[in-house]
Chains A and B, each alone.
Chain A
Amino acid sequence: MNKKGFVLIAAVMLLIFSPFIFSLFYLNLVTEILILAIFALSLNILVGYTGLVSLGHAAFFGVGAYMSAILAREISPNFFLTLFASLAAAIIASAIIGIFCVKVSGFYFLMLTLAFSQMIYSFVHQSTTITGGSNGLSGIPSPLIGSLDFSNPVYFYYLILLLFILIYGGLSLIVHSPFGQVLIGIRENETRLKSMGYHTTLYKLAAFVLAGGLGGVAGSLYTSFNSFISPSDVYWTMSGSVLIMVLIGGSGTMIGPVLGAAFIVILETIVSSYTTMWMMIIGIIFILFVVFFPKGIVGLGKLLFQSFSKSNKLSAISGKKSNALYNNDVKN
């Protein structure tokens, strides 16, 4: 078996064994990392593969999360109901918002996504009757499948793990498919693709909806995990946070966002237990990554790996010379 498959299997085994190794607190942390990793993976479709940097992704997370919360409280906490309703709501929202956003690019895209997400935020924050306003919605019942109650954190962990593996696998297939190749083409040189006859706007919209829908799924899982949702999870700082996860992890790769999510969650949790200056530390690390490791943790990992292998001192140096942040090789 090749190197990649080996690493993959080892990782999956580690994840399966987690509840047996980790204490409850760390297991919950891993669950949270997996959910945020799904969120980061969804943003990565836009940022890493299509080259559209969005600062409004929290909007879809929020739509999915609140949909899930309201349904679970008012109708039924059936897991499939909340999950699919959230997915549907997020798809509709991203389709509507996407139609406008894909018409612009670069800085304008960044600002437009921000504007839409802030509009959704202010709606959520003000509508106290539907969304609980600034206090959020709490006491959301744990998800149910049939009569199986997922309030047990270990069962819930396995459910999330299963979903994560499915989504990761599914996205890998999409990204390596012809569709994915078109997205990468749009990122590299949209004009060229257009001249080849591709309707790039349609592809961008599709990517936007895919990203938004999955973002909504992440939001729904988040609500089920915490039994709680509040407007701060729809605020632009959430969008900024997931963008940092994608960029630090390594945008344009599949494993990057997952590593980024893990990195940020662990950093936030552990660092802030020791110091109140955690923002400064995250800021410095972020700056270091942007300047020295623009390919993120994945790039850093590759660099270290290459410098350990006997031949290839040369490729280690050329690895450092890459510039733009999301210019990654197609094979990933």
Chain B
Amino acid sequence: MKKKLFLIMLVVFLAVLSACGNSAIQSTSKKEEGGSKSGGTIKIGVLLPDSGVYASLGKHLHKGMELYFDSIDWKIGSKKIEIIKEDSEADPQVALRKARKLIDQDKVDILTGTVSTAVAYAIRDEVDKKKIPFLVSHAGGNDLTRSKRSDYIWRSSFSSWQIGNSLGEWAFHNVGKTMYIAAADYAFGREVSEAFKEAYTAAGGKIVGEVYPPLGNNDYSSYLTTIKNAKAEAVYAFFAGSDAVRFVQQYDQFGLKEDKKLIGSGWLVSEDVRKSQGNAGVGTISSIFWDYSIKTEENRQFKEAFEKKYNERPTIEALEGYDAAKIIAEALTTLDGDASDPDKVVEAISNVEFISPRGPIKFDKETHHVIQNMYIIETKLVNGQTENEVIEIIEEVRDPGK
């Protein structure tokens, strides 16, 4: 008898609970109301890795964003800016869960991030379905603004294509007519080297061989020995993070620098890996969309503000975070801080253009991707330390979108 009573009470309790509160049935059967979202604050969801392999990139992106928002006092119009951070752990499974939390639970107005392309792909459908403006501030997978394009996804960082393609023709004319390719075997490495190959061979160059060491490979000696014996004038390499440190170091240690110039993407010699490489990176030529050494007034101010606040040099990712924050702020300013209509928000984003520390940037309205300069940089030894120097600027590089 007691148990039956308990069951009945349970049913009543559940019925009461379901009547009130924000239940799933209610939110999925109601059409998007929108009004419930705004208030006095603009909520920006930031999905970046705080732990795992890409943690340091995530940290730099955060720092850049916070630097910019500090400069506008965290206010747009009369509204305050609130950042809700979630750790994507660079794991698509976890990131999707966190994205759902940011969208369904925290009800963010705008989403930004991610570092890993796999994560961006994982949340793409969710973002598109729920109509959440998503400003991609790092993940560079080509498809994000090609086959997986969405009205609500806009990218302010770069595409693998832009990175690889920009060095292709230049390398043929200025480095050598034959090239060996070495790239980390994951989607990013493959996409960038593919873009390079396309541009290089179109200009007339010949690819002598290619090799794709696994991501996180620790010992390149075997590959380097093969490359040393190949008849190529130079090597195009794509590695990032700890792979870049090891590859560049070992490239030097195994004596390849003597007869084969090393060229590649800017991540081979970026601010966060150069120190660990010692002098091994000197002489490397790379292509990237921003470098510490860019000599413009905007970059000088950015560097000064960053170094004052954090006591360290900004990295590529810091710049990406900074620009992303600025884009969001400028877009929302034109709407007077009203982020309630996602279609208006993305339109405002598409119209943003300004001179960033990386040069002039604006959006391609068709591909939703940023149009920016690409810089060819060379790593030199200055006062006993390695520094990069811009040796050529390629203006207004536009991703082809297919």
Contact = CB atoms under 8 A, between A and B. Distances in A.
A154 B104 CA distance: 14
A25 B104 contact: yes
B190 interface: yes
Given A134-B118, A269-B97, A276-B50, 16 more contacts: A6-B7, A14-B10, A17-B18, A19-B23, A23-B23, A23-B104, A25-B101, A122-B214, A139-B124, A151-B129, A152-B28, A153-B24, A154-B25, A269-B101, A272-B87, A278-B51
B98 to A, nearest CB: 8
Report, nearest first, the 3 A-B pairs whose CB atoms are least far apart: A20-B18, A134-B186, A27-B24
A230 B105 CA distance: 25
A232 B101 CA distance: 21
Nearest to A1: B3
B214 to A, nearest CB: 8
A304 B11 CA distance: 27
Nearest to B85: A273
A241 to B, nearest CB: 10
Nearest to B121: A138
A157 B25 CA distance: 11
Nearest to A133: B187
Interface string B134-149: 0000000101000010
A126 interface: yes
A276 B215 CA distance: 25
A240 to B, nearest CB: 13
A273 B21 CA distance: 23
Contacts of B50: 276
A3 to B, nearest CB: 9
Contacts of A319: none
Contact of B17 (A20, A125, A138): A20
Given A19-B23, A135-B141, A226 B104 contact: no
Given A14-B14, A133-B190, A20 B23 contact: yes
B198 interface: no
Nearest to B106: A25
13 contacts: A20-B14, A20-B24, A21-B17, A23-B23, A27-B24, A28-B97, A29-B97, A128-B190, A134-B188, A138-B122, A151-B129, A154-B24, A269-B101
B311 interface: no
B355 interface: no
Contacts of B28: 24, 152-154
A21 B122 contact: no
B24 A23 contact: yes
Interface in A198-238: 226-228, 230, 232-233
Nearest to A135: B187
Among A25, A122, A276, residue most surrounded by chain B Cβ atoms (within 10 Å): A25
B210 to A, nearest CB: 14
Interface in A4-42: 6, 9-10, 13-14, 17-29, 32
A18 B190 CA distance: 45
Interface string B1-35: 00100110011001001100111110110000000
B385 interface: no
Given A10-B7, A23-B22, A24-B28, A276 B118 contact: no
A126 to B, nearest CB: 7
Given A21-B23, A138-B121, A232-B118, A272 B17 contact: no
Given A23-B24, A153-B24, A269-B101, A6 B3 contact: yes
B205 to A, nearest CB: 24
B109 interface: no
A233 B104 CA distance: 24
Contact of A227 (B22, B117, B125, B214): B125
B11 A13 contact: yes
Among A13, A14, A230, A279, residue most surrounded by chain B Cβ atoms (within 10 Å): A230
B24 A24 contact: yes
Interface string B240-267: 0000000000000000000000000000
B293 interface: no
A273 B86 contact: yes
Contact of A232 (B87, B93, B98): B93
B96 A226 contact: yes
Contacts of B7: 6, 9-10, 13
B145 to A, nearest CB: 14
Contacts of A128: 187, 190
Contacts of A154: 24-25, 28
Contacts of A9: 7
Contacts of A273: 86-87, 98, 101
Contacts of B380: none
A268 to B, nearest CB: 7
Contact of A134 (B87, B89, B215): B215
A242 B95 CA distance: 18
Contacts of B401: none
Nearest to B148: A139
A132 to B, nearest CB: 8
A18 B28 CA distance: 14
Contacts of B25: 19-20, 154
A134 B94 contact: no
Contacts of A25: 100-101, 104-105
B91 interface: yes
Contacts of B89: 272
Contacts of A157: 24
Interface in B181-227: 185-188, 190, 214-215
A176 B197 CA distance: 62
Contacts of A27: 24
Contact of B104 (A10, A28, A136, A230): A28
Interface in A79-101: none
A276 B125 CA distance: 27
Contacts of A17: 14, 17-18
B176 interface: no
A265 to B, nearest CB: 8
B93 A226 contact: yes
Contacts of B14: 13-14, 17, 20-21
Nearest to A122: B214
A138 B124 contact: yes
A276 B148 contact: no
Contacts of A152: 28
A232 B94 CA distance: 11
A208 to B, nearest CB: 25
Among B25, B96, B129, residue most surrounded by chain A Cβ atoms (within 10 Å): B25
